[in-house]
């Protein structure tokens, strides 16, 4: 049975933690604690949380299934295994690539990460990032030195199972990845099981000419409640390649907050979400173009069945100095039921005139022409529909370059299709 | 700043040509807002008791509401006690019966604005097309033309205060049914203090024989205008209606908070066009109208259609979202908008399309142009109800930036609960292409004209929607509003 | 044997076919020619069972069975094949996967055994080679980024693999240059067989130089106004539709 995570419990924990912090962290934690205490848990009256009321979701009772999926195994990766929010060294191999546990870093009297953590792309008013900063304990720090290319991916494996998945103040995990100039790395993040309440903040610092590939999988059980944020800064000629897959949860939200901070920086995100039953899946992106000549692309595709709700909020900001910005965004959603809902809010906030910015959003059913074509070749309607639903998402998945990861992603989609075959093959 | 930008700025700096003040003696309600002022307005209009109660209820509710702050607008807090809520030309006190009895000074004002109040006249430059005009000056209607001719086919077109006397049952039946008195801060304020506006009723099966229009003029200093327009198109009828508005150039900001309600019954169609040219303030952002308007159309009957077209060039602040509630099956909603913000103007405008009925369709075409130091936001909502099978929406939302000191923003909300509905939304932001501009220049067209030409091209889809009489005028207005702003 | 009897079809509430009658015996190639707006595409979509093409009167008998109430997939299983004028691009579905799904689905509907993977590959590769379709094309998403010629060859490949009893070729030559047209026509001619009939729908006579019909029908105003042998096409080429149709009337 899950314990209730309440604001009071959180505030008590925040107060307790403040007094324990190392001196180099004190100011950061104090500021975050005060801001969090002031705003509290986000609810729908806050514009950015209008369609994802976390405060309400935490009050609802959830039933944790007993039969949870096992997390995916990625061959030839260094693993950081988090079991119920705690880094389990017996299942991990992250040391091989020079990563260290956050617990160890936080305990040090001084730290080379003092000016980095919480300051890569500061989100001073973000209630959840503030909460995470105030309560972060477990996590991982990876620093890739100049000119180094990590041959093996780092697999951040978050798995939540059994009674330990619940705690009165949630679990707050922090990942810090710092790529120096000309460095390259691949991050594979998987989230499985059912956290009763978790926040995960992944901070990414990409120095000039570095490249990070980031594949993120949320394969939560129906009872999962998590809100995560990937917060990054992309330097000159650096590239961020993200692929996100999610099947939602009781409350599953992920935000990608990227700052294009150096000229010719590029950020590209492709995403697929498949949501069924009463699940909630929120994808939020904010691309902040701060300097001239940067590019960003987001392509989000979603399939919504049952009584699920999908949210895509995508904001592109172009600062006055950020001339020659090229930003594109596309959201496509397919509804498979009269009880499902999609909410899209693609926002442009532009202060520079010599830019190319566009967004497109569509919602609807399968393409009637394609459906007829398949049926005219003898493929029964139900099968033709399922084929088109899967095809719709495979386009996004094909952008994953690493073959092993792509296979895992496609397998996730396939499993979902098999579980929800009835819903995918006709409209309720 | 580039040379081009300079020229654009010159283009934008042309003076507001309707900024004159007319010396007309006026009656005022006491300054400020309280229940006595509301009773004063109601008594001035000789209103029935139910309406006074309606106003008082709205006022009491308004006291509990807070000003909305979600729009991308930045302005000092409005002091609602520092304004007159009722101003009327003194000469109006014994309500003129015909145009000949109207104060000649007032007639000269409208002449100066280019609005014909003599029935034999037609709008400048257009031949042989009749346009009926209701001229509203501050809080009262000065005259309404072609009333008799319209009444022959059963069309009622008169000030709402008059309709309350001649057709009280119609007003009572429909007033506040589309925009309830509790709708939002400004609509509630309007419900409490509204003083004039037009009332239109088109009987079943009638195609209104001429364009109807209302010209709003704010004249008195420190006064607000709170008009209320109500248009009902009964089964199978059609009407095209146009509103225009201007105000004198003053240093202080003046408030305009109107409510417009449209009701289209089965197979009826209402086309509502606006050319909004309130005083925008000067090039330093001083003065100008604060324009907080609630406009909503209810497609109540099956196969009904409501089409909003707006050309928004004036006002210091624009907060306006003409919307359609698509209740009837197969009903259609349209929103065509050009919003131009120059100097320190701020516009936050767009639409709401609520799809409730089956096979309802909506189309949104929005063209936003920002120049100078202006901020221009498109904000829109498309919402598809679970029962609206076969609903369809298409949205195209383009922004053009002239210069690097302004901002263009797009905030669409797109919600669907129906798998059999199709929604498509596209938005782009760009500047005038150097290639296009160069092409025009190389053909000998001066920069200012070239920009006006290209911007008009950018707006074409919307300009085409305006009644022919006003399209030419609007096209000129687009050029004038941008003078000094090319980028 | 296809027998269309007094067929009336409405599209978006408007009557397009107004009493079309036509018989195509097994093994024969019939062409339907007609001016723009005559109802040519409506005929092909109606035969394939597209939603929105509402049969308001008449029958489509296929080997003695009226198929007007059948779904597109049921008609396909009975052996009706439509080669589309504009084949759909379906991103995310590889051509290979699509072919396999279609062949197995039809086998299932006909109560025939499904092909095993090796048999399937052999069959597809052989047929593809004949049509000069590369392995790479088979791996790509269905028709996505294919040239006009590649799309039509892909349609011909599907025809070869699905072995229909009636193949309807809707404007097979549109978007093809002469070399591509020859290649496609060659592929089609190879598929001519005593138990297979063809209905070639075309605006221009050009295609019929390569796929020579036994009978030509002229469709105008939603019905067949004239039928004859292949010389009819030459008459049309020389005199135009108006003159020939007026003469017929």
Which residues constitute the domain of residue B243? 3-481
**B163 CB-contact burial (10 Å; exposed 0-12 / middle 13-18 / buried 19+):** buried
A395 shares contact with chain C (CB less than 8 Å): yes
Q: Which residues pair with C55 in a beta bridge?
A: C9
Report CA-CA distances (Å) from B104 to B28, B90, B100, B109, B137: 21, 13, 8, 9, 14
Chains that touch A (3 or more CB pairs under 8 A): B, C
State whether C73 and A378 contact (CB < 8 Å): yes
- What's the pLDDT score for residue B101? 66
Which 8-state DSSP code applies to residue B30? Answer: P
State whether A381 and C71 contact (CB < 8 Å): yes
Give how far the C-alpha of residue C210 lies from the chain's centroid of Cα atoms, to the nearest Å. Answer: 16
Greatest alpha-carbon span in chain C: 57
Q: DSSP letters of A31-85?
A: HHHHHHHHH-S--TTSGGGTT--HHHHHHS-----SSPPPPP--TT-EEEEEETT
Q: What percent of chain C has pLDDT over 70?
A: 99
Neighbouring C-alpha atoms within 13 Å toward the C-beta of C163: 11
More confident residue, A8 or C5: C5
| Total domains in the fold of chain C | 1
- SS3 call for B443: coil
Question: In chain A, which residues have their Cβ closer than 8 Å to the Cβ of C87?
Answer: 373
Question: In chain A, which residues have their Cβ closer than 8 Å to the Cβ of C88?
Answer: 369-370, 373
State whether A387 and C101 contact (CB < 8 Å): yes
Question: Which residue, among A348, A358, A388, A389, would best test binding to B if mutated, counting the most B CBs under 10 Å from its CB?
Answer: A348
A426 shares contact with chain C (CB less than 8 Å): no
- Looking up tokens 């953590």 gives A117
Q: Please state, as a whole number, how many other Cβ atoms lie within 10 Å of the Cβ of residue A417.
A: 19
CA angle A384, A388, A392 (to 5 degrees): 175
C105 shares contact with chain A (CB less than 8 Å): yes
Dihedral pair phi/psi, residue C143, rounded to 5°: 60, 0
State whether B404 and A337 contact (CB < 8 Å): no
- What's the pLDDT score for residue B119? 61
| Nearest CB to A343; choose among B386, B415, B429 | B415
Shortest alpha-carbon distance between residue A413 and chain C (Å): 13
A203 shares contact with chain C (CB less than 8 Å): no
Shortest alpha-carbon distance between residue A125 and chain C (Å): 40
Which 8-state DSSP code applies to residue B90? Answer: G
Shortest alpha-carbon distance between residue C72 and chain A (Å): 5
Shortest alpha-carbon distance between residue A387 and chain C (Å): 8
Residue numbers of chain B with a pLDDT score lower than 50? 1-13, 124-127, 487
CA angle B167, B173, B174 (to 5 degrees): 100
The span from the CA of A275 to the CA of A283, in Å, is 12
The span from the CA of C138 to the CA of B437, in Å, is 47
Span C82-108, pLDDT tens digits: 999 988 888 878 888 888 888 888 888
Which residues constitute the domain of residue A126? 7-366
B1 shares contact with chain A (CB less than 8 Å): no
In chain A, the residue whose alpha carbon lies closest to the alpha carbon of B389 is A338
Q: Which residues pair with A260 in a beta bridge?
A: A234, A289
Chains that touch B (3 or more CB pairs under 8 A): A
Q: DSSP letters of C48-85?
A: HT-TTEEEEEEEEEETTEE-TTS-HHHHHHHTEEEE-S
B127 shares contact with chain A (CB less than 8 Å): no
Question: In chain A, which residues have their Cβ closer than 8 Å to the Cβ of C159?
Answer: none
Span B211-236, pLDDT tens digits: 888 888 777 777 888 989 999 999 99
| Nearest CB to A373; choose among C49, C88, C105 | C88
Question: In chain B, which residues have their Cβ closer than 8 Å to the Cβ of A342?
Answer: 414-416
C178 shares contact with chain A (CB less than 8 Å): no
State whether C102 and A381 contact (CB < 8 Å): no
Residue numbers of chain A with a pLDDT score lower than 50? 1-2
B222 domain-assigned: yes
C121 domain-assigned: yes
Q: Pairing relation of β-strands B238-246 and B211-217?
A: parallel
- What's the pLDDT score for residue B11? 43
The span from the CA of A217 to the CA of A248, in Å, is 10
C98 shares contact with chain A (CB less than 8 Å): yes
The dihedral over CA atoms of B184, B187, B188, B194, expressed in degrees to the nearest 10, equals 180
C82 domain-assigned: yes
Among B298, B174, B305, B302, residue whose Cα is nearest residue B238: B305
Span C210-232, pLDDT tens digits: 999 999 999 999 999 999 998 88
- What's the pLDDT score for residue B27? 77
Q: Please state, as a whole number, how many other Cβ atoms lie within 10 Å of the Cβ of residue B442.
A: 9
- What's the pLDDT score for residue B433? 77
State whether B426 and A348 contact (CB < 8 Å): no
Q: What percent of chain B has pLDDT over 90?
A: 46
- Looking up tokens 């330097």 gives A235
On average, the pLDDT of chain C sits at 90
A410 domain-assigned: no
Question: In chain B, which residues have their Cβ closer than 8 Å to the Cβ of A357?
Answer: 428-430
The span from the CA of A103 to the CA of B11, in Å, is 62
Shortest alpha-carbon distance between residue B337 and chain A (Å): 18
C104 domain-assigned: yes
Shortest alpha-carbon distance between residue A404 and chain C (Å): 19
State whether A372 and C82 contact (CB < 8 Å): no
- What's the pLDDT score for residue B6? 45
B391 domain-assigned: yes
Question: In chain A, which residues have their Cβ closer than 8 Å to the Cβ of C93?
Answer: 387-388, 391, 394
In chain A, the residue whose alpha carbon lies closest to the alpha carbon of B69 is A47
The span from the CA of C21 to the CA of C7, in Å, is 7
State whether B431 and A361 contact (CB < 8 Å): no
State whether C92 and A394 contact (CB < 8 Å): yes
| Nearest CB to C106; choose among A378, A384, A392 | A378
Where residue C43 sits, what CATH number does that domain have?
A: 3.40.50.300
The span from the CA of B103 to the CA of B142, in Å, is 9
The span from the CA of B339 to the CA of B351, in Å, is 12
C248 domain-assigned: no
The span from the CA of C141 to the CA of C84, in Å, is 17
Chains A–C, number of C-beta pairs less than 8 Å apart: 76
More confident residue, C188 or B111: C188
Question: Which residue, among A350, A358, A425, would best test binding to B if mutated, counting the most B CBs under 10 Å from its CB?
Answer: A350
Question: In chain B, which residues have their Cβ closer than 8 Å to the Cβ of A364?
Answer: 416, 419, 421-423
- What's the pLDDT score for residue B2? 41
A409 domain-assigned: no
Q: Do chains B and C touch (3 or more CB pairs under 8 A)?
A: no
| Total domains in the fold of chain B | 1
Question: In chain C, which residues have their Cβ closer than 8 Å to the Cβ of A384?
Answer: 73
Among B366, B359, B350, residue whose Cα is nearest residue B393: B359
Which residues constitute the domain of residue C127? 2-241
Q: Among positive and negative, which fits the CA dihedral A102, A106, A110, A113? A: positive
**Residues B219 and B140 sit within 8 Å (Cβ to Cβ):** no
Report CA-CA distances (Å) from B435 to B1, B372, B399, B450: 19, 22, 18, 12
Give how far the C-alpha of residue A368 lies from the chain's centroid of Cα atoms, to the nearest Å. Answer: 33
Dihedral pair phi/psi, residue C182, rounded to 5°: -60, -45
- What's the pLDDT score for residue B145? 79
Structure tokens at B319: 């907060």
Which string of b and e fits C44-57 if b means at least 16 CB within 10 Å? bbbbbbbeebebee
Chains that touch C (3 or more CB pairs under 8 A): A
- What's the pLDDT score for residue B127? 46
Shortest alpha-carbon distance between residue A312 and chain C (Å): 22
Question: Which residue, among A372, A378, A410, would best test binding to C if mutated, counting the most C CBs under 10 Å from its CB?
Answer: A378
More confident residue, A193 or C239: A193
The helix, strand and coil proportions of chain C, stated in percent and rounded to the nearest 5, come to 40, 30, 30
Angle between helices C117-130 and C95-109 (to 10 degrees): 120
| Total domains in the fold of chain A | 1
Please enumerate in sequence order all residues whose Cβ is within 8 A of that of A370, keeping only pairs 6 or more positions apart, or say none.
Answer: A388, C88, C90
A62 domain-assigned: yes
Q: Please state, as a whole number, how many other Cβ atoms lie within 10 Å of the Cβ of residue A345.
A: 22
Q: Do chains A and B touch (3 or more CB pairs under 8 A)?
A: yes
The span from the CA of B194 to the CA of B22, in Å, is 23
C48 shares contact with chain A (CB less than 8 Å): yes
- What's the pLDDT score for residue B10? 47
Which string of b and e fits B114-129 if b means at least 16 CB within 10 Å? ebbbeeeeebeeeeee
Span C99-157, pLDDT tens digits: 888 888 888 888 888 888 888 999 999 999 988 889 899 988 888 889 888 999 999 99
The span from the CA of C132 to the CA of C123, in Å, is 14
A406 shares contact with chain C (CB less than 8 Å): no
| Nearest CB to A345; choose among B399, B412, B416 | B412
**Residues B202 and B232 sit within 8 Å (Cβ to Cβ):** yes
Chains A–B, number of C-beta pairs less than 8 Å apart: 123
State whether B422 and A354 contact (CB < 8 Å): no
């Amino acid at each position: 049975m899950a314990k209730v995570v309440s604001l009071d419990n959180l505030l008590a924990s925040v107060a307790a933690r403040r007094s324990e912090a190392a001196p180099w962290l004190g100011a950061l934690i104090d500021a975050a604690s005060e801001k969090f205490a002031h705003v509290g848990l986000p609810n729908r009256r806050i514009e950015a949380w209008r369609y994802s009321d976390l405060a309400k979701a935490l009050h609802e009772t959830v039933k944790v299934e007993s039969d949870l999926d096992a997390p995916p195994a990625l061959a030839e990766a260094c693993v950081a295994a988090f079991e119920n929010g705690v880094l389990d060294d017996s299942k991990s191999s992250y040391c091989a690539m020079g990563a260290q546990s956050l617990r160890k870093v936080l305990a040090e009297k001084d730290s080379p990460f003092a000016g980095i953590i919480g300051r890569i792309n500061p989100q001073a008013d973000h209630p959840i990032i503030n909460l995470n900063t105030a309560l972060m304990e477990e996590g991982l720090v990876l620093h890739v030195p100049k000119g180094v290319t990590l041959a093996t991916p780092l697999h951040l494996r978050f798995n939540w199972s059994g009674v330990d998945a619940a705690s009165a103040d949630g679990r707050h995990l922090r990942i810090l990845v710092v790529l120096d100039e000309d460095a390259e790395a691949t991050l594979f993040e998987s989230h499985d099981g059912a956290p009763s309440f978790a926040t995960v903040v992944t901070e990414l610092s990409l120095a000039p000419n570095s490249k990070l590939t980031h594949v993120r999988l949320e394969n939560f059980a129906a009872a999962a409640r998590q809100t995560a944020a990937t917060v990054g800064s992309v330097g000159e000629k650096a590239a961020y390649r993200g692929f996100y897959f999610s099947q939602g949860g009781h409350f599953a939200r992920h935000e990608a907050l990227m700052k294009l901070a150096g000229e010719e920086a590029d950020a590209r995100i492709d995403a697929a979400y498949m949501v069924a039953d009463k699940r909630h899946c929120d994808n939020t992106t904010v691309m902040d173009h701060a300097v001239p000549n940067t590019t960003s692309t987001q392509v989000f595709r979603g399939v919504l069945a049952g009584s699920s709700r999908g949210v895509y909020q995508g904001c592109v900001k172009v600062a006055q100095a950020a001339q020659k910005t090229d930003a594109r965004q596309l959201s496509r959603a397919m509804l498979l039921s009269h009880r499902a809902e999609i909410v899209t809010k693609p926002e442009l906030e532009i202060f520079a005139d010599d830019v190319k910015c566009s967004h497109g959003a569509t919602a609807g059913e399968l393409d009637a022409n394609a459906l007829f074509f398949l049926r005219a070749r003898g493929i029964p309607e139900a099968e033709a529909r399922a084929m088109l639903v899967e095809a719709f998402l495979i386009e996004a998945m094909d952008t994953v370059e690493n073959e092993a990861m792509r296979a895992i992603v496609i397998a996730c989609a396939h499993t979902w299709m098999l579980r929800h075959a009835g819903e995918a093959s006709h409209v309720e | 700043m580039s040379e081009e930008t300079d020229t654009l700025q010159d283009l934008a700096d042309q003076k507001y040509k309707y900024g004159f003040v007319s010396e007309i003696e006026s009656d005022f309600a006491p300054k400020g807002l309280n229940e006595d002022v509301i009773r004063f307005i109601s008594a001035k209009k000789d209103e029935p008791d139910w309406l006074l109660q309606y106003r008082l209820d709205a006022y009491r509710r308004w006291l509990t509401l807070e000003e909305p702050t979600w729009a991308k607008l930045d302005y000092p807090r409005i002091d609602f006690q520092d304004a007159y809520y009722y101003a009327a030309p003194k000469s109006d006190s014994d309500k003129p019966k015909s145009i000949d009895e109207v104060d000649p000074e007032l007639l000269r004002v409208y002449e100066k604005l280019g609005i014909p109040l003599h029935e034999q006249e037609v709008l400048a430059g257009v031949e042989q097309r009749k346009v009926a005009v209701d001229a509203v000056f501050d809080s009262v209607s000065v005259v309404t033309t072609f009333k008799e001719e319209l009444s022959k086919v059963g069309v009622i077109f008169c000030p709402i205060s008059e309709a309350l006397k001649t057709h009280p049952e119609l007003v009572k039946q429909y007033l506040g049914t589309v925009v309830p008195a509790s709708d939002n801060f400004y609509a509630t304020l309007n419900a409490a203090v509204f003083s004039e506006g037009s009332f239109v009723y088109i009987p079943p099966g009638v195609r209104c024989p001429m364009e109807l229009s209302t010209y709003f003029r704010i004249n008195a200093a420190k006064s607000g205008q709170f008009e209320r327009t109500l248009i009902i198109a009964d089964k199978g009828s059609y009407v095209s209606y146009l509103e225009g508005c201007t105000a004198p150039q003053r240093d202080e900001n003046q408030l305009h908070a109107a409510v417009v309600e449209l009701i289209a019954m089965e197979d009826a169609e209402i086309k509502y066009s606006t050319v909004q040219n309130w005083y925008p303030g000067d090039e330093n952002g001083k003065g100008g109208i604060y324009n907080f308007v609630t406009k909503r159309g209810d497609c109540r009957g099956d196969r009904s259609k409501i089409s909003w077209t707006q050309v928004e060039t004036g006002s210091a602040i624009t907060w306006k979202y003409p919307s359609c509630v698509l209740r009837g099956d197969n009903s259609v909603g349209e929103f065509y908008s050009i919003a131009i913000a120059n100097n320190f103007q701020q516009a936050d405008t767009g639409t709401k399309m609520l799809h409730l009925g089956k096979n309802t369709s909506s189309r949104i075409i929005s063209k936003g142009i920002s120049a100078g130091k202006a901020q221009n936001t498109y904000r829109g909502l498309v919402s598809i109800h679970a029962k609206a099978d076969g609903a369809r929406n298409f949205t195209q939302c383009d922004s053009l930036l002239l210069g690097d000191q302004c901002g263009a923003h797009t905030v669409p909300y797109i919600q669907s609960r129906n798998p059999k509905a199709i929604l498509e939304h596209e938005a782009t932001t760009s500047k005038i292409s150097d290639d296009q501009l160069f092409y025009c220049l190389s053909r000998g067209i001066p920069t200012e004209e070239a920009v006006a030409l290209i911007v008009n091209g950018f707006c074409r889809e919307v300009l085409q929607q305006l009644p022919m009489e006003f399209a030419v005028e609007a096209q000129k207005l687009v050029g004038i509003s941008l003078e000094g702003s090319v980028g | 044997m296809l027998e269309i009897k007094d067929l009336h079809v409405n599209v978006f509430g408007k009557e397009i076919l107004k009493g079309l009658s036509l018989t195509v015996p097994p093994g024969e190639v019939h062409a339907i020619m007609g001016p723009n707006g005559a109802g040519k595409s409506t005929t092909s979509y109606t035969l394939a069972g597209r939603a929105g093409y509402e049969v308001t009167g008449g029958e489509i008998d296929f080997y003695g069975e009226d198929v007007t109430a059948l779904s597109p997939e049921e008609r396909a299983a009975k052996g009706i094949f439509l080669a589309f004028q504009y084949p759909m691009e379906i991103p995310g579905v590889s051509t290979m996967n699509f072919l396999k799904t279609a062949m197995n689905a039809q086998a299932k509907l006909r109560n025939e055994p499904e092909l095993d993977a090796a048999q399937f590959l052999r069959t597809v590769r052989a047929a593809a080679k004949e049509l000069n379709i590369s392995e790479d094309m088979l791996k790509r998403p269905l028709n996505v980024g294919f040239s006009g010629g590649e799309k039509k060859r892909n349609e011909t490949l599907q025809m070869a693999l699905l072995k229909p009893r009636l193949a309807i070729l809707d404007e097979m030559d549109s978007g093809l240059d002469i070399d591509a047209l020859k290649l496609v026509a060659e592929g089609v001619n190879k598929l001519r067989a005593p138990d297979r009939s063809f209905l070639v729908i075309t605006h221009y006579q050009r295609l019929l130089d390569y796929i020579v019909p036994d009978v030509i029908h002229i469709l105008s105003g939603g019905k067949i106004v004239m039928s004859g042998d292949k010389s009819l096409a030459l008459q049309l080429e020389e005199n135009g539709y108006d003159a020939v149709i007026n003469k017929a009337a």
